[in-house]
Chains A and B, each alone.
Chain A
Amino acid sequence: MSLSFVRYLALGVLVAGVAAIAWTTLGGDEAGDVAVTTTTTVPDATDDPDVTASTVVATTVPPEPIEVLGTADTLTNLDGWLNTDATSLEEIRAANQLTVVQFWTFGCRNCKNTLDALGRLYTDFRGQGMEIVGVHSPEFSYEADVDNIIEAAAGLGVVWPIALDTDKRNFHRWQEGNIGYWPRVYVIDGDNQIRFDRKGDGRATYEQLYETVERLLAEV
């Protein structure tokens, strides 16, 4: 392998890498998400040989039962609550059939990406037996300041109850085994069972969350 080939290869890697960084910086990675509806393409049943069109038929796959993933923990050693008069998760759970618990922190970009979807969930299902609890578990010290949290929550439109988990005790207890991800969202039913548990900010994840809440409320 000649030296010039290595240089050209390195140059190619360099250019491609810089292009990838530029592409994502300019918002090029905002590609569409997966579709929720399953579609099947079948040939059009026509006698006309000139007509070759096909028809896209939407088929609804029967939904699978929503599994029980385990028993939910509680929230302890909190530094307080915002946007609610409640003082415990149990109090909120007792007043609702479903509780959506999300671990988040206001400085986390991926957490912010989920807030519109949570806002829609809150608008559509609050008052129908669902409540959202945002457990604010700060990653960095500036995210632990309660004034900063209040200001950020107002700016981000977070109007649902916020549990202040400043020391991340609940964050680490709920996410066992030396892990911890922001954001992570759970749905807890009236029997304190976890019915949904996903990490990340994917649109499909939050569409599934919406669908899960809708179905579980319908089952009650």
Chain B
Amino acid sequence: MATFLEGVGSIGVACTLAALVPAAALVLVARKARLTVALWYLVGATLLTWARAGGHWQVELSGAMVPVAAALAAGAFVLAWWARKPASLAATGSGVVAGALAGWLWRPCVGRRLGDILDDVDTEAARTLGLMLVYMAGALLPAVLLAVLPHAVPATRRLLDRLLVAAVGATVGAAYAATLATGRYDDIVGELYRIATDS
């Protein structure tokens, strides 16, 4: 529970926004498969974050990988839009790819429990993978709640199903891909954070 709450506590931190903003935008775009996309995003982000920490994924985001990352981001948003059913390959693929991309890009500000997880990744693989999933569930909670909202409060479905809402998500997705391509994504998130904390 403490690990989950530490993840929740990191929601407002700029480091976490870099993973959370694309997740929320993807959920807005995936009108027919919000929950599927959100949950697979969580799985993808957890796996890549854990794999990086354990040294199992060492591909650097530089050179030729920059346009690849941007293309993956754009592709994940297109797939999310195309997904017509919750149990579809498009929805699953969109969530996994976007989540894995977030896990690849994410440079976390490390709290106590995440620090312990990262310190133990080499020696306790299974336990730390589970704990990482719990932590990420907390950090990405707003995106999951956004996906759950129309199921919990059906009246919100009409609002969330509007094309305008999906367009907002798509705009964020396009900006995400564009800033990834130009290497400016972290700076934009940081600037948003600075503006928010200065006001």
Binds B, one of A10-18, A83-91, A212-220: A10-18
B129 interfacial contact with A, CB 8 Å:
no
Checking A28, A111, A140, A179 against B194 with a beta-carbon cut-off of 8 angstroms, the contacting residue is A140
Residues 12-35 (chain A) with a chain B CB within 8 angstroms? 13-14, 17-18, 20-21, 23-25, 28-29, 31, 33
Checking A7, A20, A113, A184 against B154 with a beta-carbon cut-off of 8 angstroms, the contacting residue is A7
- What B residues does A6 contact at CB under 8 A? 151
Please report the C-alpha to C-alpha distance between residue A21 and residue B139 in the assembled complex, in whole angstroms: 10
Q: How far is the CB of B44 from chain A (nearest CB, A)?
A: 16
- What A residues does B5 contact at CB under 8 A? 20, 23-24, 28-29
Q: How far is the CB of B19 from chain A (nearest CB, A)?
A: 13
Checking B58, B153, B187 against A140 with a beta-carbon cut-off of 8 angstroms, the contacting residue is B187
- What A residues does B52 contact at CB under 8 A? 177-179
Tally of chain A residues near chain B (CB < 8 A): 44
B74 interfacial contact with A, CB 8 Å:
no
Residues 66-119 (chain A) with a chain B CB within 8 angstroms? 107-111, 113
Contact A110 B109, CB 8 Å, known A17-B141, A20-B4, A31-B2:
yes
Residues 163-216 (chain A) with a chain B CB within 8 angstroms? 177-184, 198-205
Please report the C-alpha to C-alpha distance between residue A201 and residue B9 in the assembled complex, in whole angstroms: 14
Encoded as 1 (CB less than 8 Å from any A CB) or 0, chain B from 161 to 199 comes to 000000000000000000000000011011101100000
Residues of A within 8 A of B (CB): 6-7, 10-11, 13-14, 17-18, 20-21, 23-25, 28-29, 31, 33, 107-111, 113, 139-143, 177-184, 198-205
